[in-house]
Amino acid sequence: MIDAAIFDKECRDCPRLARFLDDVKDRFPDYYCRPVPPFGAADARFLIVGLAPGMHGANRTGRPFTGDHAGILLYQMLHKYGFASRDHSEAADDGLTLIDCRITNAVKCLPPGNKPVGAEMNTCNRFLANELRTMPENSVVVALGGIAHRAIIKAVGERQLEFKFGHAALHDLDSFRLLDSYHCSRYNTNTRRLTEAMFDAIFAQVREMLDN
């Protein structure tokens, strides 16, 4: 039987990640510490793919990019371009809704040091593959960072060599267009590898692609 699941809250397929989540739960009993589900409607035409839950953000709150620095600019942009009901995301029950937009992560569990290993990327990739397969026609996917980009290329069965990551690179895949962006991490925004203007232009382009 083909496993078409896009998410499994009980998943413990990656031993290192499962152990790490147990350890973090011991240290922070109030934290969510489980695989973090995608956020937003399944029929949204805009999918954002991040790397993995952040320790004190998604791993604490249970919602992607919620409650830490990485989400600040992201939700501002989503709100500015009409994809979110509010410009900040604090907690899973804060009432924020996404509009024709969905956010997921290439790896659903918090990895030590924010770095999933290859085997973990591969094991988790089936969820992303199923999620991408069920997207509506004319969808746009934004990859936040090179790891998310490569997870998407792998998930659709394409060759990495033919689709290289680059900020603002646009790739025509069979069933959707993929637009790359540098990740909106604290490191990238503090060092200005990713400026607000650069990130703004990504969202303006997505809005334009979906509206026309």
Helix (H, G, I), strand (E, B) or coil at 162: helix
Tell me if 70 contacts ligand URA by CB under 6 A.
yes
Q: Following DSSP, what letter does each residue of 88-156 receive, concatenated? A: ----TTS---BSSEEEEESS-SPPGGG---HHHHHHHHHHHHHHHHTPPTTEEEEEESHHHHHHHHHHT
CA distance 61 to 96: 13
Q: Quick one: CA torsion of 14, 183, 41, 77, rounded to 10 degrees?
A: 160
Instruction: Tell me if 89 contacts ligand URA by CB under 6 A.
Output: no
Q: Which residues of 133-143 are buried (b: 16+ CB within 10 A; e: fewer)?
A: eebeeebbbbb
| Binding of ligand URA by 54 (CB under 6 A) | yes
Residues in binding contact with ligand URA, number by CB under 6 A: 12
CA distance 101 to 45: 6
Of residues 65, 127, 163, 182, which one binds ligand URA by CB under 6 A? 65
Q: Which residue's CB is nearer to ligand URA, number 135 or number 143?
A: 143
If one asks whether residue 110 binds ligand URA (CB under 6 A), the answer comes out as no
Residues 144-203 interacting with ligand URA (rule: CB under 6 A)? 144
Site string for ligand URA, 18-47 (x = CB under 6 A): ------------------------------
Cα 4 to Cα 85, 138, 195, distances in angstroms:
30, 21, 37
**Quick one: 35 or 50, whose CB is closer to ligand URA?**
50
Min dist CB 6 to ligand URA, Å, is 16
Question: Binding to ligand URA by residue 51, rule CB under 6 A?
Answer: yes
Site string for ligand URA, 120-149 (x = CB under 6 A): ------------------------x-----
Nearest approach in angstroms of CB 64 to ligand URA is 4
176 three-class SS: strand
Give contact residues for ligand URA (rule: CB under 6 A): 50-54, 57-58, 64-65, 70, 105, 144
